Amino acid sequence: MLIKILKILLAVVVVAFIGIQFVRIDKTNPAINPNETLESAVAVPPEVSAILQRSCNDCHSHNTVYPWYSNIAPMSWMLKSHIDDGRKDLNFSIFNTYADNRKSKKIEKICDEVQSREMPLPSYLWIHRDAVMSDADIKTLCDWTKAVGEKQ
């Protein structure tokens, strides 16, 4: 009797898993207006740009590269939620549309977030090992944010 219940339960789980695969996320990256980007607002040295591209852009820009697991629900739903939240909090693709005081706060917050290792998200780093920031990367970003802050 118990084995029969377990088989039915397993069948329900498998059918449900297959069924949720038909609920797809939108993986369309919005168009980028070059006049609205971070680079149009502040000078971004190549070494800083490389760090941001490697460790931040997937969730904080319209340059998201969707990995293989973005095709598997429910992981895809969690991923899309992280991207939406990241873009809502800080979006390098529309950075120059922010008010000046918001720009200053966001630039300052970059250093705080990476120093505390809150960003990139630890769950993102499980699979994206190349996004892990070294102490030198963090220093580079923080030196840049301080320099930008002094100019504003």
pLDDT one-digit tens code per residue, 39-68: 999 999 999 999 999 999 999 999 999 988
Q: Which pLDDT score is estimated for 151?
A: 67
Q: Which pLDDT score is estimated for 69?
A: 87
* pTM for the model: 0.84
pLDDT mean over 17-34 = 89
pLDDT mean over 22-39 = 92
- CA-CA distances (angstroms) from residue 133 to 60, 86, 114, 121, 144? 16, 18, 8, 11, 15
Of 49, 56, 45, 34, the closest CA to residue 114 belongs to: 56
Of 114, 110, 116, 76, the closest CA to residue 90 belongs to: 110
